Amino acid sequence: MVFGKIEYLNLLPFHVFMKRHISSSRTKMSMHYKRGVPSKINKEFLARRVDAAFISSISAKGQQHVNLGIVAKKEVLSVLVVPNQEDKSDSESATSNILAKILGLQGKVLIGDKALRYYLSGTEYTDMAGVWNKKYKLPFVFALLCYHKDKRVYKKIEKKFTAKKIKIPTYILEEASKRTKIPKKDILHYLTYISYKVDTKAKLGLKKFYTKVRI
């Protein structure tokens, strides 16, 4: 099993869960990770070089998926447009570049941990998920956990992951802070803005997005 791993902070709780709950030695031995930014993992998944991953919503249309994703109920803090700069897409992104166009936002698109660092700097920004929610009164789904086969495996992961809140061990939080240069307290605060269950309202938000991009 090859799992596409995106090492942004928004998936830190899921990575902790996977490390803790993939318990059988047989599963551990068969699990391999392919790391990359969202745009790269999308391509690897669509080329079937990755069996499962959190796939950007723009690429997840028509793919098999469970009801797990990266969901912003309102603001998200890590998907931004920097105003008063030349319009520029983020090469790591797929969905967010299109979202900026849908919302008519001009400026430089920033996603992921670098966007969170920018937010924490206190410089002017526009939070795309916040603008989306204000306009449509719906959450925005940035990615879905998609798979090519073994549906039961991923349904089990969905059930276990959403059953209880995942506590991040101190040493993992410290490693993440060192890697991203973001203080631990800010990581924990940021994660309160991220939801993972693709519930009824999130599905409506996703449907609205697909309507807007006509795919």
**Domain assignment present for 211:** no
- What pTM value is reported for the model? 0.92
Q: Are 3 and 182 in contact (CB under 8 A)?
A: no
% residues pLDDT > 70 (the chain):
95
pLDDT at 2 over 90: no
Average pLDDT over residues 89-115: 92
Q: Are 84 and 44 in contact (CB under 8 A)?
A: no
Q: Are 160 and 21 in contact (CB under 8 A)?
A: yes
Structure tokens given for 125: 């920004």
**Domain assignment present for 145:** yes
**Domain assignment present for 206:** no
Domain count, the chain: 1
Per-residue confidence at 93, pLDDT binned at 50, 70, 90?
A: confident
- The average confidence (pLDDT) of the chain is 92
pLDDT at 94 over 50: yes
Residues 140, 100: Cα–Cα separation, whole Å: 13
Q: How many Cα atoms within 13 Å fall on the side-chain side of residue 147?
A: 19
Model confidence pLDDT, tens digit, residues 110-151? 999 999 999 999 999 999 999 999 999 999 999 999 999 999
pLDDT at 23 over 80: no
**Domain assignment present for 210:** no
Q: Kindly report the CATH number assigned to the domain that includes residue 100.
A: 3.40.190.10
Residues 170, 85: Cα–Cα separation, whole Å: 38
Q: Which domain holds residue 195?
A: 2-201
Average pLDDT over residues 69-86: 94
Per-residue confidence at 70, pLDDT binned at 50, 70, 90?
A: very high
**Domain assignment present for 60:** yes
Per-residue confidence at 1, pLDDT binned at 50, 70, 90?
A: confident
**Domain assignment present for 158:** yes
Model confidence pLDDT, tens digit, residues 151-209? 998 999 999 999 988 999 999 999 999 999 999 999 999 999 999 999 999 999 999 99
pLDDT number for residue 117: 97
pLDDT number for residue 214: 65
pLDDT at 27 over 60: no
**Domain assignment present for 155:** yes
pLDDT number for residue 172: 96
